[in-house]
Amino acid sequence: MNFKKIFTGPLFWILTAVLLLLVVVPLLFTSSGAGQRVDTNVGMELIEDGQVTEARIDDGDSRVDLTLAEEFELDGENLGDAVHFHFSQARAETVVEAIAEADLEGYTDEPEQSNWLLSMLGFMIPFLLIALLFIWLITRMSGGGSRVMQFGKSKAKQFDKDMPAVTFADVAGAEEAVEELHEIKEFLSEPEKFQRLGAKIPKGVLLYGPPGTGKTLLAKAVAGEAGGSFYSISGSDFVEMFVGVGASRVRDLFKQAKENAPAIIFVDEIDAVGRQRGAGVGGGNDEREQTLNQLLVEMDGFDANTNIIVIAATNRPDVLDPALLRPGRFDRQIPVEAPDFAGRKAILEVHAKGKPMVPDLDIEQIARKTPGFTGADLANVLNEAALLTARSNADLIDDRAIDEAIDRVMAGPQKRTRLMKDHERRVTAYHEGGHALVAAALNYSAPVTKITILPRGRALGYTMVIPEDDKYSTTRNELLDQIAYAMGGRVAEEIVFHDPSTGAANDIQKATDTARKMVTEYGMSAKVGSVKLGSGDSNPFLGKEMATGKEYSEELAAVVDSEVRSIIDEAHDEAYWALTENRDILDTLAEELLRVETLNAKEVAEIFKDVKKRPKREIWESSPDRPILIDESSQRAETVNGRSGQD
Ligand code: ADP
Ligand code: MG
Ligand code: ZN
């Protein structure tokens, strides 16, 4: 708020009025009564001389008001026929006695009734004003003069049928999300089809992903397609200053939706209310928690036949209260990611409509220049380009305008930290390509199902290898392949750039962990033997070594270290072999990744069709392939190989 506003606004005047009254009112009422003040002695003389016709003692103020028989002059000054004087407590008795003795008419020592009432009133006025001020503030905050009574009403906007309808055709490059939401649309428009088969229609759908990827757009598209009522509200609308308002808004919103079913309730930016309860400092935010609780209650309250679906969107799925994600609430979760090359091209085509461009303008080229851009960024690029073109009085948008627009969007206020520089993209492409190619060239590795160099979370890119069916044990050869696979990224960087990056830290960690377990837990080292070393149930509060104490000798520890080391070195050699023998395929793969950013299983298989396989390892001497049970979670962790970011 700026200062000028404070001084000209009504708030300032009301506060001034209150202050003035607080100061003036008491003065007004206490200086009631007559005349000028005289010394105590002068007053006493007047009483004793019989010049006084009436006296009134005010005990509380230690003061006496005198009405005189005639006008009184002191030191040449006319004081009129009424004066007052104050007395000290020590003289109080003398004063009272003197007045009693003078036997005055109308002598009284009680303040007048009316005066008492008046001072009460003076006392009340500031409070009245404060109450008025408070009411005025409340009306202001609820957004309008006559809104006081509507405080708990929901602020949801209802979209009418004649709203400019967004359809799925307006959303490009988010096929998976659109497909999922298509289903939601069918739930709403033909619920019988699903209920006949006893299927439960989901109550809540959560769209999550980085800002600007089209989550709000998707929700609007569902509304536009489904044709029911659509209530849109932002999470922050629920969170008000007063406890209980948010909760009553939620109640009201669901009531409205139920009356107008089939309906979609869209809660944008749900993290504003949906944050984990009790997470705030000092016990958290009561208001927010109440609102969240009410939301959960409402979602539990309507049954599957009510035909209401709640769609929520957030950039921060990680901070959401787990209760929101439980079955029967937002149990459908749809990721909305930044688009890949093909997606960007499609989005650009959507937004290029109605923008005249020079005939040879290449949309594909724009898509290629904008890795990491979201749908909102791309829409922004085309809009900026149109503005620049208009500014230069040209008729058609050309490459120069586009290039400048890209620069503007990139350098714009939202810094694109996740946008990779060209070299970093190349390193990532070779790194991920290295993982994938090693997996393809080895004999016990699961097939590569996806490679991407699109940054996601803290990973710069990732490669996914997924076993064809569920596995509950892993063999030594499979573990060795996993380690070689983990080294593949780093080795590719070595071979191609001779300057490895920190991006492999996570891979090295995984490889080392697996190798150490092979030696100390799985009994896969001939030198150490089938001995379990160290304790599995480590104390979480102490370091592993501290908790377990020394269970084996320094000598054995040295053997373990050298065994781990030799497993890793061997894996490194295998990866090196796979990548140098197939160097041309590695280059093709990296180029393709740089071009399209994401490759699926089929595309990868096509590129890998001529991969030279590494000969199988020699039979292990101390025991043939021995399946070892490892727990499911560690197995899953090893199927996805993220490359960690450089932070
Ligand atoms: P979010 O809610 O994920 O932050 P929005 O839905 O508000 O993003 O997207 C902002 C704008 O960006 C949309 O209005 C649209 O113009 C554009 N946009 C974003 N994603 C897409 C997409 N996949 N296809 C077409 N336009 C998109
Ligand atoms: Mg949004
Ligand atoms: Zn990696």
- pLDDT for position 470: 62
Task: Tell me the longest C-alpha to C-alpha distance in the chain.
Answer: 135
- Picking from 429, 573, 568, the residue whose alpha carbon sits closest to that of residue 489 is 429
Task: Record the tokens describing residue 563, joined without a space.
Answer: 């065994």
CATH number of the domain encompassing residue 37: 3.30.720.210
Pair 371, 420: CB distance under 8 Å: yes
Separation of CA 458 and ligand 3 centre (Å)? 12
Nearest CA to ligand 1 atom 5: 214
Q: How far apart are CA 155 and CA 580, in angstroms?
A: 63
- Picking from 409, 420, 423, the residue whose alpha carbon sits closest to that of residue 381 is 409
Pair 258, 308: CB distance under 8 Å: yes
Q: Which of 240, 287, 432, 592 is catalytic?
A: 432
Q: How far apart are CA 307 and CA 522, in angstroms?
A: 54
How far CA 100 is from CA of 55, 62, 63, 81, 112, in Å, comes to 10, 16, 15, 21, 19
Q: How far apart are CA 638 and CA 482, in angstroms?
A: 8
Pair 411, 384: CB distance under 8 Å: no
Q: How many C-beta neighbours within 10 Å does residue 636 have?
A: 10
User: Position 126: which residue type?
Assistant: P
Residue 289: exposure state from Cβ atoms within 10 A (0-12, 13-18, ≥19): buried
Q: Provide φ and ψ at 312, rounded to 5°.
A: -125, 155
Is 473 found in the same domain as 373?
A: no
Nearest CA to ligand 1 atom 27: 375
CATH number of the domain encompassing residue 350: 1.10.8.60
- pLDDT for position 544: 45
DSSP string, 335-395: E-PPP-HHHHHHHHHHHHTT--B-TT--HHHHHHH-TT--HHHHHHHHHHHHHHHHHTT-S
- pLDDT for position 435: 94
- What domain range includes position 76? 32-113
Q: Mean pLDDT, consecutive 10-residue segments, the chain of 647 residues?
A: 51 72 60 71 83 79 82 80 83 80 66 62 81 76 46 54 72 88 84 81 87 89 81 77 73 85 85 71 64 84 76 86 83 86 91 89 86 88 92 89 82 48 86 94 88 69 70 85 94 93 88 91 84 58 47 83 94 95 95 89 92 86 53 43 37
Residues 6 or more apart whose Cβ sits within 8 Å of residue 91: 40
Domain end call among 88, 113, 138: 113
pTM: 0.54
Is 600 found in the same domain as 524?
A: yes
The answer to whether residue 572 is domain-embedded is: yes
Within 196-350, strands assigned E span 204-208, 229-234, 263-268, 308-314, 332-335
For the chain, the distance separating the N- and C-terminal CA atoms, rounded to the nearest angstrom, is 38
Is 447 found in the same domain as 558?
A: yes
Residue 432 is a catalytic residue: yes
CATH number of the domain encompassing residue 593: 1.20.58.760
Separation of CA 325 and ligand 1 centre (Å)? 24
Pair 500, 506: CB distance under 8 Å: no
Q: How far apart are CA 29 and CA 21, in angstroms?
A: 12
Domain end call among 318, 335, 352: 335
**Rg from Cα positions in the chain:** 41
The answer to whether residue 210 is domain-embedded is: yes
- pLDDT for position 152: 52
The answer to whether residue 560 is domain-embedded is: yes
Separation of CA 491 and ligand 3 centre (Å)? 10
Q: How many C-beta neighbours within 10 Å does residue 36 have?
A: 13
Ligand 1 atom closest to residue 377's alpha carbon, by position in its atom list: 12
Is 517 found in the same domain as 558?
A: yes
Is 446 found in the same domain as 403?
A: no
Q: How far apart are CA 359 and CA 76, in angstroms?
A: 106
Within 459-610, strands assigned E span 462-465, 473-474, 598-600
Is 565 found in the same domain as 551?
A: yes
The answer to whether residue 152 is domain-embedded is: no
**Residue to mutate (ligand 1; options 217, 234, 341, 348; most atoms within 8 A of CB):** 217
- pLDDT for position 608: 94
How far CA 242 is from CA of 141, 287, 293, in Å, comes to 11, 7, 16
Separation of CA 317 and ligand 3 centre (Å)? 25
Q: Which ligand is nearest to the CA of 644?
A: 3
The answer to whether residue 612 is domain-embedded is: no
Residues 6 or more apart whose Cβ sits within 8 Å of residue 518: 476, 479, 524, 525, 567
Task: Record the tokens describing residue 389, joined without a space.
Answer: 């073109």
Question: Given the structure tokens 């939202």, which residue do they identify?
Answer: 414
Domain end call among 315, 335, 355: 335
Is 233 found in the same domain as 300?
A: yes
What is the pairing mode between strands 157-159 and 229-234? antiparallel
- Picking from 526, 568, 599, 214, the residue whose alpha carbon sits closest to that of residue 380 is 214
Q: Which ligand is nearest to the CA of 509?
A: 3
Is 601 found in the same domain as 454?
A: yes
Is 125 found in the same domain as 102?
A: no
The answer to whether residue 613 is domain-embedded is: no
Pair 502, 482: CB distance under 8 Å: no
| Total domains in the fold of the chain | 6
Q: How far apart are CA 579 and CA 485, in angstroms?
A: 11
Is 628 found in the same domain as 522?
A: no
Ligand 1 atom closest to residue 217's alpha carbon, by position in its atom list: 6
- pLDDT for position 536: 45
Separation of CA 216 and ligand 1 centre (Å)? 7
- pLDDT for position 440: 94
What is the pairing mode between strands 308-314 and 229-234? unpaired
- Picking from 419, 417, 421, 397, the residue whose alpha carbon sits closest to that of residue 348 is 397
Q: How far apart are CA 288 and CA 269, in angstroms?
A: 14
Q: How far apart are CA 380 and CA 383, in angstroms?
A: 5
Is 596 found in the same domain as 564?
A: yes
Residues with CB under 6 A from ligand 1: 171-174, 211-217, 313, 347, 350, 375-376, 379
Ligand 1 atom closest to residue 268's alpha carbon, by position in its atom list: 2
The answer to whether residue 287 is domain-embedded is: yes
Is 226 found in the same domain as 282?
A: yes
User: Position 310: which residue type?
Assistant: V
Q: How far apart are CA 1 and CA 16, in angstroms?
A: 19
Q: Which ligand is nearest to the CA of 376?
A: 1
Q: How far apart are CA 88 and CA 110, in angstroms?
A: 18
- pLDDT for position 147: 42
Pair 611, 437: CB distance under 8 Å: yes
Q: How far apart are CA 447 and CA 449, in angstroms?
A: 6
